[in-house]
Each structure stands twice: as C-alpha cells, then as structure tokens.
Amino acid sequence: MENGRFVTYTDKDRDIVRKGICEIAKVLLGDDTQRKLSMPFCLDWFMDPYYQQDISDIHDDLVLLLQTVITEPNEDDVIEDAIELLMSYELPPFPLIEEKRNRIPLKFQDDIAYLLDPKSFEE
C-alpha cells in the first residue's frame, strides 16, 4: 500500500463537530494538517445516515464549508476528502463549486464534473 494513508479521529474531533460549524471551519481552513486530515474522516461518521447522527442544525453550512474547502487553496488530500463527502452524502447543485470551478486543481476536475452532474455519467 504505497500511496495509502492512515487516518483516525478521536473524541476531540467529535467534540469539535458537536461545537458547530465555526469550530469545524477553524480546523478545515486552518494550518494543522494532521487535524485537517482527521476532520473529514470524523465528518463521514456524522454524515453517514447509518450512524444516525443529527447534524441538521449545521447541515447547510457544512455543505457550503466543504465546497469552500474544495475551491480554496488546501492540501490535496483534504480537497479529495471533501469531494468524497459531497459525492457520498449530498446531491447537486453545488453553486460555490460551479462559480469557482476554475480555482480547483486540474487533477480533481473529473471528480468535480461527476459531482456537479452525476446523471451525465449514467449509461
């Protein structure tokens, strides 16, 4: 597993999510790379319906924050994880991504095309 990575999250990460969108944004838009890599993994637990976590109070802000993570300079792994979260748990439209698509690194453009219009990839 040459290109694999090992990421975990802790109760501290869950506490950050429970504190709300401002605290999540501080992590995802901050400078602590390790914490930034942990946060999307933790968010996956909150966003996955299987785990029945109620994040309805921050849902819309979280979707916007994930779009911001994708469209602003950030570590590639964090951008990739944000794309994966939106692909897995949300449906378009994603207006911020549409508006700022040209800011997203070229290596993610195929995923962005799918994210913005998944039906165009159906056979």
- In tens, the pLDDT along 18-76 reads 999 999 999 999 999 999 999 999 999 999 999 999 999 999 999 999 999 999 999 99
Instruction: Note the Cα 28 to chain centre separation in Å.
Output: 9
Average pLDDT over the chain, rounded to whole?
A: 94
Residue among 25, 37, 49 nearest 76 (CA) = 37
pTM of the shown model: 0.92
Q: Rounded to 5 degrees, what are φ and ψ at 29?
A: -105, 5
Tokens of 27: 């992590």
Percentage, residues of the chain above pLDDT 70: 95
Name the token pair of 46.
């909150």
Say whether the peptide bond before residue 40 is cis (omega within 30 degrees of 0). no
